[in-house]
Amino acid sequence: MFLLGTGLRRSEGLALHWRDVDLTAGVARIRWQLVRVDRQLVFDEELKTPKSKGFVSLPAPVMEALRQHKVALAAERLAAPVWQPWEGHEDLVFPTRIGTPVDPRNALRALVRLAERAELTGAGLHTLGHSAERLGEASGGKDSRGYIQPGQPEEPAGKPALIRYFSVGLARFELATP
């Protein structure tokens, strides 16, 4: 839901830290992307495009989901027998069960499995970003990926409705799945 609601790339979403999320103002600062270099995961400050670095608007449904996620993550961290975050990256928004960065390929595999179980074809992490991109274009956003640019509306009309629809659909699917 986060990628759909913000239009961020997988690498940017997985590199997001809580210190860069302002749930009061409804924005997230994008500073890094999580990429593989020589078979190693690294936080790269060189983002895919110059427009990517900066802030992204967080629609209300995304902010609510992040608030709930933060509480659940704190409980998970306390219950974890091992918590070994990388130095300087202790506050990842989307860490593994032991506090380390999520490998982008594992995130893709998880979404593909969920989509297959829901009988959705062609779904992937890029699909979410491009769905948000198309929605931004349709609503007149100047930067359709969700990055805040001067003069751009804070939140494209229709995006919250799409996020709610997607979230409710996933929640129903998860409740119906053993």
Span 113-171, pLDDT tens digits: 777 776 766 655 455 544 444 444 444 443 444 554 444 444 444 444 444 444 434 44
Q: Which amino acid is at 84?
A: Q
Query: pLDDT over 70 for what percent of the chain?
Result: 62
Residue 36 sits in which domain range?
Answer: 2-176
Q: Specify whether the CB–CB gap between 128 and 12 falls below 8 A.
A: no
Query: pLDDT over 90 for what percent of the chain?
Result: 38
- Pairwise pLDDT comparison (108 vs 82), residue with the higher score: 82
Task: Give the number of residues written for the chain.
Answer: 178
Map tokens 């979404």 to a residue: 111
Strands (E), 33-123: 33-37, 40-44, 54-57
Looking at residue 114, what is its pLDDT? 73
Map tokens 């961290």 to a residue: 77
pTM: 0.69
What's the mean per-residue pLDDT of the chain?
Answer: 74
Find the helix packing angle between 159-176 and 125-138, rounded to 10°.
150
Interior angle at CA 129, CA 94 and CA 63, nearest 5: 50
Q: Kindly state the helix (H) or strand (E) to which residue 68 belongs, with its residue range.
A: helix 60-79
Looking at residue 120, what is its pLDDT? 66
Map tokens 């400050």 to a residue: 45
pLDDT digits (tens, 9 = 90+) for 14-56: 999 999 999 999 999 999 999 899 999 999 888 666 666 788 8
| Number of domains making up the chain | 1
